[in-house]
């Protein structure tokens, strides 16, 4: 794999979190990285129009994404120096397939249902409704279905869009008196793949329109797949008639991956990025980043980027820095056990090795129990994982600590405030 090409893929992946990949693809489809220096990325594109659009609309998102990737401010330049050959595959969407979706207990039903639908559209489960927390692979599965069907039924008209885009498109159609075209576009599809349908809640004209689109396709026996961050009954301000439609097929959820699946995901992502990760780094990542696959993948990407650009060693120290860096940029992400232990250690003036050790001195035991409690509250690790992977203790010890801290929070106001403060500090890191 060419590192430069990788970087473009990462860049587009980051951009596609906030904008529809179809739109990105229109402007970046044949973009290539011409050069990459310490402070400038130069892209090559094929037309003056694309160059203009990239510079005017995407400068800020691209430089933000570069900052996220490399952790230093970089400029974007775009040139037309030579006409690049058309390269459809440069966009990240193609990367989402069943073959690179790692299956574990947490997602096996969703993956199996998605595969069944891709193999027999309209005949397996209709509609298929996939829900789960952020960064757990919903969009990946949706695009995997799309890519699979694109290969097996190239003649199918697929509409792949987010509820957000649907609403915007509808607003435009209404403004430009193009509702007829709008109906045609969506209702003539053989397949409807809708990402983040929860955003349709509360937007009444959108819901009305989507209801008719849904019925038209459904009645014709055409496949509909929906993803959402929550089950239909929890989508706020969703009309009942839509909710019952969404619930009429198969509903599957995706949970955060367990430890083994996280190990497999780290290995698979690293391998695809041409990175050889030593076992201790794989273990470290799978233990530390627990709630979100996007965060896990982002860390691996960062390690690759640092290796390529800064020649950083691929080791646990770099991994630790990469996780911290990613969290600084995305405050919503989950802290690692290490971060929690280090914060509690500094706060109580107790050595980290004592927290992790066996010393029974009262202040050390308290700090240790608070750490166990915070790891349990702020990550998605199970009691058993916290026991074996972090503290080398039985899960009942962790359970006892969690219960004890919970009880103290309930009875001691000052203690409760301290815990809240600690949580804020850890999150703000
Ligand atoms: P969501 O739509 O649920 O927020 P995404 O589908 O965008 O999450 O997934 C976030 C990132 O994590 C993507 O790059 C995706 O490829 C990756 N990912 C999630 N789950 C898996 C998995 N089981 N195997 C491999 N990659 C995964
Ligand atoms: Mg998504």
Question: CB of 374 closer than 6 A to ligand 1?
Answer: no
- pLDDT of 308 reads 87
The alpha carbon of 113 and the centre of ligand 1 are apart by a number of angstroms equal to 16
- pLDDT of 220 reads 96
- pLDDT of 38 reads 61
Question: CB of 9 closer than 6 A to ligand 1?
Answer: no
Residue spans of the chain under pLDDT 50: 1-2, 83-92
Q: Count the helices and strands in the chain (H runs, E runs).
A: 19, 8
Question: CB of 135 closer than 6 A to ligand 1?
Answer: yes
DSSP run (H or E) holding 58: helix 48-70
Chain-centroid distance, C-alpha 415: 35
Q: Which of the listed residues 106, 137, 292 should we mutate to test ligand 1's pocket, taking the one with most ligand atoms within 8 A of CB?
A: 137
Handedness of CA 206, 97, 88, 155 (dihedral sign): negative
Which residue minimizes the CA distance to atom 5 of ligand 1? Answer: 137
Give CA–CA dist 298/312, Å, rounded: 16
Q: CB within 8 A of 189, min separation 6: which ones? A: 157, 158, 159, 217, 222
First to last CA, the chain: 34
Diameter over CA atoms, the chain: 75
Give CA–CA dist 287/338, Å, rounded: 10
Which of ligand 1's atoms lies nearest the C-alpha of 101?
A: 24
Give CA–CA dist 413/384, Å, rounded: 29
Q: What percentage of the chain reaches a pLDDT higher than 70?
A: 93
Q: Measure Cα distances from 278 to 102, 266, 290, 387 in Å.
A: 20, 11, 19, 24
The alpha carbon of 107 and the centre of ligand 1 are apart by a number of angstroms equal to 11
DSSP reduced 3-state for 368: helix
Give CA–CA dist 427/9, Å, rounded: 29
Which of ligand 1's atoms lies nearest the C-alpha of 17?
A: 7
Question: CB of 136 closer than 6 A to ligand 1?
Answer: yes
Give CA–CA dist 10/302, Å, rounded: 10
Q: Which residue, chain included where needed, has tokens 């179809």?
A: 22
The alpha carbon of 138 and the centre of ligand 1 are apart by a number of angstroms equal to 7
What count of Cα atoms within 13 Å lies in the side-chain half-sphere of residue 55? 14
- pLDDT of 91 reads 38
- pLDDT of 82 reads 53
The alpha carbon of 144 and the centre of ligand 2 are apart by a number of angstroms equal to 13
- pLDDT of 5 reads 57
Count the Cβ atoms, other than its own, within 10 Å of residue 400.
14
What count of Cα atoms within 13 Å lies in the side-chain half-sphere of residue 268? 17
Question: CB of 267 closer than 6 A to ligand 1?
Answer: no
Structure tokens at 299: 């860390």
- pLDDT of 88 reads 34
Structure tokens at 376: 């349990």
Question: CB of 298 closer than 6 A to ligand 1?
Answer: no
Question: CB of 334 closer than 6 A to ligand 1?
Answer: no
- pLDDT of 202 reads 84
pLDDT tens figures, 184-195: 989 999 999 999
């Amino acid at each position: 794999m060419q590192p430069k090409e990788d970087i473009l893929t990462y860049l587009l992946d980051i951009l596609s979190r906030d904008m529809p990949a179809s739109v990105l693809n229109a402007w970046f489809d044949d973009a290539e990285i011409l050069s990459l220096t310490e402070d400038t990325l130069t892209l090559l594109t094929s037309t003056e129009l694309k160059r203009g659009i990239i510079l005017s609309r995407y400068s800020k998102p691209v430089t933000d994404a570069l900052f996220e990737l490399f952790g230093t401010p970089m400029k974007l330049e775009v040139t037309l120096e030579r006409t690049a050959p058309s390269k459809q595959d440069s966009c990240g969407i193609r990367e989402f397939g069943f073959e690179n979706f790692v299956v574990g207990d947490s997602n096996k039903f969703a993956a199996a249902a998605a595969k069944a639908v891709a193999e027999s559209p309209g005949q397996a489960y209709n509609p298929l409704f996939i829900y789960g927390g952020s960064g757990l692979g919903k969009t990946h599965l949706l695009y995997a279905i799309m890519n699979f069907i694109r290969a097996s039924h190239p003649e199918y008209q697929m509409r792949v869009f987010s509820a957000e885009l649907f609403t915007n498109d509808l607003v435009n159609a209404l403004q430009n008196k193009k509702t007829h075209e709008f109906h045609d576009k969506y209702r003539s599809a053989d397949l409807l793949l809708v990402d983040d349908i929860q955003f349709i809640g509360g937007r009444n004209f959108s819901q009305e329109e989507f209801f008719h689109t849904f019925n038209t396709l459904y009645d014709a026996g055409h496949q509909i797949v929906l993803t959402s961050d929550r089950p239909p009954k929890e989508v706020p301000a969703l009309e009942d008639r839509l909710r019952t439609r969404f619930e009429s097929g198969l509903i599957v959820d995706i949970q955060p991956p367990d430890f083994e699946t996280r190990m497999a995901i780290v290995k698979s992502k690293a391998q695809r990025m041409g990175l050889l990760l030593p076992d201790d780094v794989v273990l470290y990542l799978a233990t530390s980043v627990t709630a979100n696959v996007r965060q896990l993948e982002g860390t691996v990407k960062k390690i690759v980027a640092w290796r390529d650009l800064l020649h950083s060693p691929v080791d646990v120290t770099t991994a630790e820095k990469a996780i911290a860096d990613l969290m600084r940029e995305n405050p919503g992400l989950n802290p690692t056990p290490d971060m929690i232990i280090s914060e509690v250690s500094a706060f109580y003036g107790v050595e980290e090795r004592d927290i992790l050790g066996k010393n029974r001195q009262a202040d050390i035991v308290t700090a240790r129990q608070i750490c166990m409690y915070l790891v349990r509250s702020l990550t998605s690790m199970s009691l058993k994982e916290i026991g074996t992977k972090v503290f080398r203790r039985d899960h009942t010890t962790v359970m006892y600590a969690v219960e004890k801290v919970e009880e103290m929070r309930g009875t001691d106001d000052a203690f409760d405030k301290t815990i809240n403060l600690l949580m804020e500090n850890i999150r703000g890191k």
